[in-house]
Amino acid sequence: MIQGTQETPKACRNFLALAMEGYYDGVIFYRVVSRSLVGTGDKTGTVLGGESFYGVPTDIITRPDNAVSALLTV
């Protein structure tokens, strides 16, 4: 099971669906933190991303200190 699927199920499904469609083919994964996160570029080369599998932003989690932690995959 991918860590985070309980907290951000849509974001995890979005990432997996895009990966299976080949969205990340040829995209550099510049940061990989085991069991935590990955940082990638995007197909557009603008760092603004493209469209999510769902066509809308995914999950955003707010921490008690009101800082926003997000797992957004596009």
Q: What is the pLDDT of residues 1-23, one digit of tens each?
A: 455 566 677 777 888 888 899 98
Q: What is the pLDDT of residues 26-61, one digit of tens each?
A: 888 888 887 777 788 777 777 666 777 877 655 544
pLDDT at 20: 92
pLDDT at 5: 63
pLDDT at 54: 78
Classified as helix, coil or strand, 8 is coil
**Domains by residue range for the chain, with CATH:** 9-70 (2.40.100.10)
Quick one: the chain helix, strand, coil %, rounded to 5?
A: 15, 20, 65
